[in-house]
A and B are shown apart, each in its own frame.
Chain A
Amino acid sequence: MLNYKPVLKTRVIPVLLLRNGGLVKTVKFDRANYLGDPLNAVKIFNDKEVDELVVLDIDASKRGHRPNFELVKQLASECFMPLGYGGGIKSVEDIGRLFTIGVEKVVINSAGLCNLDLVANAAQVFGNQSIVLSVDVKKNLWGNFTVYSHAKVPPPPVGLLTFLQQASQAGAGEILLNAVDRDGTMTGYDLTLIQQVAQAVPVPVVACGGAGQLAHLRQAADAGASGVAAGSLFVYHGPHRAVLINYPAPSVLQSLLG
């Protein structure tokens, strides 16, 4: 007996990158292009009723800074949708403070981790659903997916899928899966990567890296992503990449992903 009911629509999530308090967009994790004021961008995304928003400070950890709590607080006060924040998070105390100022999910990047203790400790206090593990993935010379680390921390000693299984066991309630080589290219998601990870872990996977048109979102969802994230797609417009904050109308997303 088939009693069809609408199931969760795939979440479509703009990812905003911060550097020195400004909004930037990268290509392959490099060549950061300054876009403007993050608060303004967040207000526009809120008006467009985005499903969810992720803000990542891409400089904080590299420079050894803590999160810019004042800025995050301002951003959070404009978000009437779930907000995820990552960058410079060092301790359970940092995470508690982020939740107090209005963030729903904290994003902990694998590059800053010597082990999964922070994920485990945070999940115990705040629950798995609020802890997102962000993992940056590159193909190595042999064509295998590996965890990429731009920081000084060595990559985990196990393979990507094993690492992510360990992370979800430790308490990561969601995986933000970044395909480094697709970042900013707008050439489409790495669908093989999404398939492999979504099948290997029991928690939702949010795919990121490569979205250049709406059809790409559908491809990632079909490959098993519970959420589809994008930067360039939602901050650029046209072949010359003019800066224009944009997001599809609910009806467009419904027919694309519903």
Chain B
Amino acid sequence: MTSIVIIDYGMGNLGSIQNMLKKIGQPAVIASEPTVVSQAAKLILPGVGAFDHAMANLAQRGLTEVIQQRVAKGRPLLGICLGMQLLAHRSDEGTLPGLGLVPGQVVKFSVPAPLKIPHMGWNVVQYQANSPLFRGFANWDEARFYFVHSYYYQCHDPGHVAATTWYGTHFASAVQNGLVFGTQFHPEKSHKFGLLLLRNFAQL
């Protein structure tokens, strides 16, 4: 069984996630073949771009069901940025249904001036103390992560919110439903904070 598989479905920057995992001694495979993804011990679903384009790409490569099957078998999944938004049931950005792995919907930011859209830059993440993704974070005064996004996640069940961030509104910057995790921010671009978060995921 392959350890961590970073799912390549033509949406985004996979190299930087692999680079960071390598840094923490967790070799990961980048793969788009369902046969490889179906063998993964853990999955990372990255993504930058538009919601429908992403869902269509997953379907086209035969990955939608494979991902859902791995999750059903209890394999941990981490969605990053758009990859997190795909965990929802639907998004304002598109018309296709999402993976529906963390009940919720994705809506567009509506922020007062002078805040701009996209929400781009380093922001503070207020995490749930018991969240396994944030184990060890108490050593720092605050947890800062790099964000780039125009839409945000609304969980149907507040219990699925693993972290919140403020940008004109409080939004779910990380979600968790069982072993399905999502981060709106980019751990692979967030220095020591991202290193620890990915290490926590790798050690689940």
Nearest-CB residue, chain A, relative to B22: A77
Which of A46, A49, A52, A82 has most chain B Cβ within 10 Å?
Answer: A82
Once the chains bind, are B48 and A81 in contact (CB under 8 Å)? no
- Near A by CB (< 8 A), chain B positions 17-51 give 19-20, 23, 48-50
B residues touching A (Cβ–Cβ < 8 Å)? 12-16, 19-20, 23, 48-50, 114-116, 118-124, 146, 148-150, 166-167, 186, 188-192, 194-195
15 CB-based A-B contacts, threshold 8 Å: A6-B124, A6-B166, A7-B166, A7-B167, A79-B189, A80-B189, A80-B195, A81-B189, A82-B186, A102-B16, A127-B48, A127-B50, A129-B48, A204-B116, A226-B121
By the criterion CB–CB under 8 Å, are B115 and A76 in contact?
Answer: no
Residues B194 and A80 in contact, CB atoms below 8 Å apart: yes
| A51-B19 contact given A5-B166, A80-B190, A82-B146, CB 8 Å threshold | no
Task: Select B16's contact among A76, A129, A202, beta carbons within 8 Å.
Answer: A76
Main secondary structure of the interface of A (DSSP, over half): loop
Chain A 92-108, CB within 8 Å of chain B: the 1/0 string? 00000001111110000
**A10 cross-chain contacts in B, Cβ below 8 A:** 121
- Given A5-B166, A129-B120, A204-B116, residue A102 in contact with residue B191 (CB < 8 A): no
Q: In the complex, A104 Cα to B185 Cα: how many Å? A: 13
Residue of A nearest to B50 (CB): A127
Whether B19 lies near A77 (C-beta < 8 A) is yes
CB neighbors of B among A179-217 (8 A) = 202-204
Q: Is A34 an interface residue (CB 8 A)?
A: no
CA distance A11 to B144 in the complex (A): 13
A6's closest neighbor in chain B, by CB? B124
**In the docked arrangement, what's the CA distance between A5 and B165, Å?**
9
Known: A80-B195, A81-B146, A126-B49. A51 touches B13 (CB 8 A): no
Contact A80 B191 (CB under 8 A): yes
A130 touches B120 (CB 8 A): no
**In this assembly, does A67 line the interface, its C-beta being within 8 Å of a C-beta of chain B?**
no
Among candidates B48, B121, B190, residue contacting A8 with C-beta atoms closer than 8 Å? B121
A38 within 8 A of B: no
Question: Of all chain A residues, which has the CB nearest B146?
Answer: A82
Say whether A174 contacts B120, CB under 8 Å.
yes
Contact: B122 with A9, CB < 8 Å? yes
A226 near B190: Cβ-Cβ < 8 Å: no
Closest Cβ neighbor of A103 among chain B residues: B13
Bound CA–CA A82/B15 (angstroms): 12
Residues of chain B within 8 A of A49, CB atoms compared? 191-192
Once the chains bind, are A129 and B148 in contact (CB under 8 Å)?
yes
Q: Count of A residues near B, CB < 8 Å?
A: 38
Residue of B19, B123, B167, B195 touching A102 (CB-CB under 8 A): B19
With the chains together, A100 CA to B8 CA distance in Å? Answer: 10
Closest Cβ–Cβ distance, residue A237 to chain B (whole Å): 23
Complexed CA–CA distance, A99 and B115 (Å): 27
Quick one: which of A5, A52, A173 has the most chain B CB within 10 A?
A5
Q: Determine if B166 and A99 form an interchain contact, defined as CB atoms under 8 angstroms apart.
A: no
Residues of B within 8 A of A129 (CB): 48, 118, 120, 148-150
* CB-CB under 8 A for A99 and B13, given A6-B166, A81-B191, A126-B48: yes
A200 to chain B, nearest CB (A): 13
Query: Are A11 and B15 closer than 8 Å at their CB atoms?
Result: no
Q: Other than A80-B23, A129-B150, A202-B116, give 16 A-B pairs with Cβ distance below 8 A.
A: A5-B166, A49-B191, A51-B121, A76-B15, A77-B15, A79-B16, A80-B189, A81-B189, A81-B191, A102-B15, A104-B148, A104-B189, A129-B149, A130-B148, A174-B120, A226-B121
Q: Which residues from chain B contact A80 at a C-beta distance below 8 Å?
A: 16, 19-20, 23, 188-191, 194-195
Chain A residues with CB under 8 Å of B20's CB are 80
What separation, in Å, do the CA atoms of A127 and B85 have in the docked complex?
A: 15
Please give, as numbers and ranges, the residues of chain A lying within 8 Å of B118 by CB-CB distance: 128-129, 173
Q: Which residues of A contact B120 (CB under 8 A)?
A: 8, 129, 173-174, 204, 226
CB pair B49–A102 under 8 Å, yes or no, is no
Q: Which of B16, B114, B167 has the most CB of A within 10 A?
A: B16
